[in-house]
Structure 1
Amino acid sequence: MEILLVDDDQHSRAAVAWFLREQEHMVMECENAAEALAKWKLADYPLVLSDIQMPGMSGIELAQVITEQPDSWRTDVVLFTGYGDMKTAVAALRAGAYDYLLKPVDAQELAAIVQRVSEHQALLRENKALTENFDAQLQSATKNTEQELTRMRKMVAETVIGNMGVFSVSMQQVTDLAQRFHTDRALTVLIQGETGTGKEVVARIIHYGSNLKSPSGPLVELNCAAIPHNLFETELFGYEGGSFSGSSSRGQKGKLDAAAGGTLFLDEIAEMPPEMQAKLLRVLETKEYYRVGGLKKIKADVRIICATNVDLEKKWKRGRSGAIFIIA
């Protein structure tokens, strides 16, 4: 989440900023309210965290000015101060502040408030989008669903599983293992093998099963070697409308969205940028993710299958970026 942090105390500001960045939020720091107000008018900040006692414009005055703006709904203001009393708290809430904290800021309390703001802003933005663009949203969702169904039918029709012959004992063992993986979507699978050995076929067996009759959900494929590094995050996670310059105002679903209820097949996984490996690992651990610029956590109901022709264990031992994936 984008957070505007305002505090004339450099040490206090730096400590809060460090904590928020550790929680994977993006923080813009300002040392006074006038600077913060100027930045607020130029960008979308769902949360403004401001000290109350500052030279010039106070935090309460900043909250009042933001509240008076036509688009003030897109920001929740949380104020904090080292001089807390009931009168100050009442003044902060009357100025339109979402909440009020005392210095020194308690980390757990701050994390809880940021989470509440995230959920509150997500709800506000979803409601506004539905209110203003209900028909367009409905048509878009229907069209996307129809496209997904068409793509699924095409992939099933084109699969080579139904026409595949298995003649060696070792390949029979591989297909039997893949079939067992098919029955447990909780498993994350890494397929390693030289080019041309049938890694994609094995991935399809894991997803569809050997007879193509069991429900499998969508199979979404992403070739990690074909995606420019600067586009990888939006391609995988999607993004919310207006998240960055040049982005669509309606946003875009990512491959994790498209694969919901099914399987995401990450081919050439060794080519994934190192910084994306950590983010993907977080998805595997928590089963949740944010779209780029998003405020709402999304449940990742998806099986992950990865494939590579690189020996990731040897690559890791040589000190290069290596595997972070569970080898099933």
Structure 2
Amino acid sequence: MHILLVDDDAQGRSFLAEYLQLLGHLVTPADSVDSALRITEEHSFELVLSDIAMPEKSGIDLIYALQAKALEHRPDIVLYTGHVDLQLAIDALRAGAFDYMTKPIKLDELTSILERVAAHQNIRLSAPDHGHKHRHKSSFQRKEEHLQEVQDMFSRLAGVERIGIFSEKMWDVVHQAEQYHTDRSMPVLIQGETGVGKEIIAKIIHYGTEHSSLPFVDINCTAISPTLFESELFGYESGAFTGGVRQGKKGKLDMAMGGTLFLDEIAEIPVELQAKLLRVIEERQFYRVGGLRKNKTDIRIIAATNLDFEKRIQEGLFRKDLYYRLKVGHITIPPLRERQEDIAGLALLFLRKFSKKRGKQFESIHPQAEKRLVSYHWPGNVRELKNLMEWVSFMHDGTELLEKHFVKQLSPQKPCFSTPEKKRVERKRPVSNADILAALEECGGNKTKASQLLGIALRTLYYRLDKMAS
């Protein structure tokens, strides 16, 4: 390939040029954005490899300038910088960069990117009528190829499973999460409806751009019996209670030492434990159950809920002081219906994932199907969309998602493939043990969902399970 190498650092530029030439590439160097732009008037390139931080004009300025030029052949642009900054990467990719690297540049990573650029350029050259076809694609399909690259790049920087970010609102949420990552002492509260992706955002806060190997420990505050919650969170000493491990047991606080404790569904934590959790946040120490010695802790606390905290406080179910202490850092994730730009992108992301898993061939979404997906209100949010795409990949075959594949599954009254409604079901007879077992099986073992399906309180379900086990 013919590569335009742009870097104001002569030594770094010389080293990279030498390596690229060893790989058989033709390299033209430039020491500034203006110099690079002048060179592109006389030569064509398959790749522009540029530093971001340069005097006067940046690598991102170069992207916009090249996009404004009527070039006979449009090169791919890869940027690199010495600053590990997720927002900078996002800005670069949204400007149109093919990829992004951080210094010191890893040669194996650079080689991999060069291979992908070469493959991408070959596709362009072999499709002369690409522009004509492009005009007939839907608004999402026109962006889909570039957005895939954005998501792959984001995953590498954030250190988490590949996720879908296609709207300004979610870019803002991710930027907030990255900012909170820089201060481990600050508790963060994430609020949003069920299924919007609160745990993923919690992991971005934890991992940041550093691919952290520190522990991320989660605890679902509704999935543990209130009688066992304290020992699960704080651990217990030897002989603390009958039936415990003889030598005692470490709790989630110990397991999360140096890393992050993620308290999911925090609004439902037992009232009697809230003061103890507040002490952990404020004093950075705790007692194990049955213990007399204070244990110091060094953890980041992230909490999440889909409930109305103000209402819980008014009902006396949650301490106001704990709420405000958790809310020092605060993120609200908007529901999917308020960020329609995400819907088609997420649908294709999930469709391809499950198609690959099941050996199916789905690769695209028909414009009419996209229109129907975007117009639906998605009360179950991203989880509902994900489950629908999994169902489609299981039930249907084809290369393109059509409206007929899923339209009967969409209901204007209730979410499809989502969590049971919060309203309790009225029953004409007492709940039997068989009912409980059937509900648990239907809800995949999730006790909160099972209690809602049965129409009984969660604590009642825990009590019945304890009785059944004894």
TM-score, normalising length: structure 1: 0.49
Higher alpha-carbon Rg: 2
TM-score, normalising length: structure 2: 0.35
